[in-house]
A and B are shown apart, each in its own frame.
Chain A
Amino acid sequence: MSTTGRSNLNIAVPLREDAGDSPPGIPCFHCGLPVTTAGEFQTRTEDGGREFCCAGCLAVSEVISAGGMERYYALRDAPGNRPEAVDRQQFLVYDNPRLQQGWLIRKDQFAEAEFLVDGIACAACVWLIESWLARLPGVESADVNFSTHRLGVRWDPSLAGVSDLLLAVHRVGYRALPYTREARRSLEEHRRRELLKRLGVAAALGMQVMVISVALYAGDWFGIEPALADFLRRVNLLLVLPIVGYSAQPFFHGAWRGIRTRSPGMDLPVSLGIALAFAGSLWATVSGGGDVYYDSIAMFVFFLLGARYLELGARLNGARAMDSLAAVVPGTARRRRDDNTLETVPAAETAAGERLLVRAGEVVPADGVIDDGASSFDESLMTGEDRPVSRGVGDPVMAGSVNVSQPVTVTITARPGATVLDSILRLAERAHADKPRISRLAERVSRWFVVGVVMLAAAVAGLGLWLGNPAWLPTTIAVLVVTCPCALSLATPLALHAGIGNLVRRGVHVVRGHALETLNRVDHVVFDKTGTLTHAEMALEGITTHGHLDSGEALRIAAALEQGASHPLARPLLEAAGDAPLPRVTDFANVPGQGVRGRVDGKDYRLGTAEFVAESMGGLSPDGAAADRTDAAGLLVTLGEASGPVATFSFRDELRAGAHGLVKRMRSEGMGISLLSGDRPCAVDAIARDVGIGDARGGCLPGQKLAALDNLIGDGRVVAMVGDGINDAPALARAHLGVAMARNVNLASASADMVITADDLEVLGDARYVARRTFRIIRQNIAWALAYNILAVPAALAGMVPPWLAGIGMSLSSVVVVLNAARLTRD
Chain B
Amino acid sequence: MEIIYLLIPLSIVLVAAIVGVFLWSVRSGQFDDLKGPAHRILMDDDAPARKNASQDPSAAD
Write the residues of chain A forming the contact surface with B, with a CB cutoff of 8 angstroms: 189, 193, 196-197, 200-201, 204-205, 208, 212, 225, 228, 231-232, 235, 238-239, 242
Closest to B1 in A: A228
Known: A189-B32, A228-B1, A231-B5. A200 touches B11 (CB 8 A): no
**7 pairs of residues in contact across A and B, judged by CB atoms under 8 Å:** A196-B31, A200-B19, A200-B22, A204-B19, A208-B12, A228-B1, A239-B15
Closest to B5 in A: A231
Chain B 14-40 per-residue mask, 1 if CB under 8 angstroms from chain A, else 0: 010011001100110001100000000
| B4 CB within 8 Å of chain A | yes
Top 7 A-B residue pairs of the complex, sorted by shortest distance between their CB atoms: A200-B22, A197-B26, A204-B19, A204-B18, A208-B15, A196-B26, A193-B26
| B8 CB within 8 Å of chain A | yes
Give the shortest distance, in Å, between A84 (CB) and chain B (any CB): 25
Known: A196-B31, A200-B23. A238 touches B18 (CB 8 A): no
Q: In the assembly, what is the distance between CA of A189 and CA of B18, in Å?
A: 23
Write the residues of chain B forming the contact surface with A, with a CB cutoff of 8 angstroms: 1, 4-5, 8, 11-12, 15, 18-19, 22-23, 26-27, 31-32
Q: Which residues of A contact B19 (CB under 8 A)?
A: 200-201, 204-205, 242
Closest to B9 in A: A235
Give the shortest distance, in Å, between A317 (CB) and chain B (any CB): 12
Q: Which residues of B contact A238 (CB under 8 A)?
A: 12
* Main DSSP-derived SS at the A contact region: helix
Q: Which residues of B contact A212 (CB under 8 A)?
A: 8
Known: A208-B15, A228-B4. A193 touches B27 (CB 8 A): yes
Known: A193-B31, A228-B1, A228-B4. A204 touches B12 (CB 8 A): no
Q: In the assembly, what is the distance between CA of A225 and CA of B11, in Å?
A: 21
Closest to B17 in A: A204
Give the shortest distance, in Å, between A230 (CB) and chain B (any CB): 12
Q: Which residues of B contact A204 (CB under 8 A)?
A: 15, 18-19, 22
Q: Which residues of B contact A193 (CB under 8 A)?
A: 26-27, 31-32
A201→B22 contact, CB < 8 A: yes
Q: Which residues of B contact A189 (CB under 8 A)?
A: 32
Give the shortest distance, in Å, between B41 (CB) and chain A (any CB): 23
Q: Which residues of A contact B22 (CB under 8 A)?
A: 197, 200-201, 204
Q: Which residues of B contact A225 (CB under 8 A)?
A: 1
Closest to A193 in B: B26
Most A C-beta atoms less than 10 A away, residue of B1, B18, B22, B26: B26
Give the shortest distance, in Å, between B26 (CB) and chain A (any CB): 5
Closest to B25 in A: A200
Known: A189-B32, A193-B26, A196-B31. A205 touches B8 (CB 8 A): no
Q: In the assembly, what is the distance between CA of A238 and CA of B9, in Å?
A: 11
A197→B12 contact, CB < 8 A: no
A201→B12 contact, CB < 8 A: no
Give the shortest distance, in Å, between B20 (CB) and chain A (any CB): 10
Q: In the assembly, what is the distance between CA of A201 and CA of B32, in Å?
A: 17
Q: Which residues of A contact B26 (CB under 8 A)?
A: 193, 196-197, 200
Select which of B12, B18, B27 is within 8 A of A235 by beta carbon: B12
Q: Which residues of A contact B12 (CB under 8 A)?
A: 208, 235, 238-239
Q: Which residues of A contact B5 (CB under 8 A)?
A: 231
Q: In the assembly, what is the distance between CA of A595 and CA of B4, in Å?
A: 102
Select which of A196, A201, A235, A242 is within 8 A of B8 by beta carbon: A235
Q: In the assembly, what is the distance between CA of A239 and CA of B15, in Å?
A: 9
Q: In the assembly, what is the distance between CA of A239 and CA of B19, in Å?
A: 12
Give the shortest distance, in Å, between B19 (CB) and chain A (any CB): 5
Q: Which residues of B contact A239 (CB under 8 A)?
A: 12, 15
Give the shortest distance, in Å, between A198 (CB) and chain B (any CB): 10
Q: Which residues of A contact B11 (CB under 8 A)?
A: 208
Select which of B15, B27, B31, B32 is within 8 A of A205 by beta carbon: B15
Q: Which residues of A contact B23 (CB under 8 A)?
A: 197, 200-201
Closest to A242 in B: B19
Q: In the assembly, what is the distance between CA of A266 and CA of B15, in Å?
A: 31
Closest to A205 in B: B15
Q: Which residues of B contact A201 (CB under 8 A)?
A: 19, 22-23
Q: A197-B23, A205-B15 are in contact. List 12 more A-B contacts (CB 8 A).
A: A189-B32, A193-B27, A197-B27, A200-B19, A201-B19, A201-B22, A204-B19, A205-B19, A208-B12, A208-B15, A232-B8, A239-B12
Q: In the assembly, what is the distance between CA of A204 and CA of B22, in Å?
A: 9
Give the shortest distance, in Å, between B27 (CB) and chain A (any CB): 7
Q: In the assembly, what is the distance between CA of A212 and CA of B9, in Å?
A: 12
Give the shortest distance, in Å, between B6 (CB) and chain A (any CB): 12
Q: In the assembly, what is the distance between CA of A192 and CA of B32, in Å?
A: 9
Q: In the assembly, what is the distance between CA of A624 and CA of B15, in Å?
A: 95
Q: In the assembly, what is the distance between CA of A189 and CA of B32, in Å?
A: 8
Q: In the assembly, what is the distance between CA of A232 and CA of B4, in Å?
A: 10
Q: In the assembly, what is the distance between CA of A196 and CA of B8, in Å?
A: 27
Give the shortest distance, in Å, between B23 (CB) and chain A (any CB): 6
Give the shortest distance, in Å, between B54 (CB) and chain A (any CB): 21
Closest to B29 in A: A193
Q: In the assembly, what is the distance between CA of A189 and CA of B29, in Å?
A: 10
Give the shortest distance, in Å, between A189 (CB) and chain B (any CB): 7
Q: In the assembly, what is the distance between CA of A196 and CA of B22, in Å?
A: 10
Q: Which residues of B contact A208 (CB under 8 A)?
A: 11-12, 15
Q: Which residues of B contact A232 (CB under 8 A)?
A: 8
Give the shortest distance, in Å, between B58 (CB) and chain A (any CB): 21
Q: In the assembly, what is the distance between CA of A232 and CA of B27, in Å?
A: 32
Q: Which residues of B contact A200 (CB under 8 A)?
A: 19, 22-23, 26
Give the shortest distance, in Å, between B2 (CB) and chain A (any CB): 10
Q: In the assembly, what is the distance between CA of A187 and CA of B22, in Å?
A: 21
Give the shortest distance, in Å, between B4 (CB) and chain A (any CB): 7
Q: In the assembly, what is the distance between CA of A196 and CA of B15, in Å?
A: 17
Q: Which residues of A contact B31 (CB under 8 A)?
A: 193, 196
Q: Which residues of A contact B32 (CB under 8 A)?
A: 189, 193
Closest to A194 in B: B26
Give the shortest distance, in Å, between B5 (CB) and chain A (any CB): 7
Q: Which residues of B contact A228 (CB under 8 A)?
A: 1, 4
Q: Which residues of B contact A231 (CB under 8 A)?
A: 5, 8
Give the shortest distance, in Å, between B13 (CB) and chain A (any CB): 11
Closest to B15 in A: A208
Q: Which residues of A contact B1 (CB under 8 A)?
A: 225, 228
Q: In the assembly, what is the distance between CA of A228 and CA of B2, in Å?
A: 9
Q: Which residues of A contact B18 (CB under 8 A)?
A: 204
Q: In the assembly, what is the distance between CA of A205 and CA of B18, in Å?
A: 9
Closest to A203 in B: B22
Q: In the assembly, what is the distance between CA of A763 and CA of B5, in Å?
A: 68
Q: In the assembly, what is the distance between CA of A205 and CA of B26, in Å?
A: 17
Q: In the assembly, what is the distance between CA of A193 and CA of B23, in Å?
A: 10
Q: In the assembly, what is the distance between CA of A235 and CA of B6, in Å?
A: 12
Give the shortest distance, in Å, between A721 (CB) and chain B (any CB): 42
Q: In the assembly, what is the distance between CA of A472 and CA of B5, in Å?
A: 33
Closest to B14 in A: A208
Q: In the assembly, what is the distance between CA of A403 and CA of B43, in Å?
A: 27
Q: In the assembly, what is the distance between CA of A55 and CA of B9, in Å?
A: 49
Give the shortest distance, in Å, between B46 (CB) and chain A (any CB): 25
Give the shortest distance, in Å, between B57 (CB) and chain A (any CB): 26
Q: Which residues of B contact A205 (CB under 8 A)?
A: 15, 19
Q: In the assembly, what is the distance between CA of A212 and CA of B5, in Å?
A: 13
Q: Which residues of B contact A196 (CB under 8 A)?
A: 26, 31
Closest to B4 in A: A228
Q: In the assembly, what is the distance between CA of A205 and CA of B22, in Å?
A: 12
Q: In the assembly, what is the distance between CA of A109 and CA of B22, in Å?
A: 53
Closest to A209 in B: B15
Q: In the assembly, what is the distance between CA of A189 and CA of B15, in Å?
A: 26
Give the shortest distance, in Å, between B1 (CB) and chain A (any CB): 7
Closest to B32 in A: A189
Q: In the assembly, what is the distance between CA of A228 and CA of B7, in Å?
A: 13
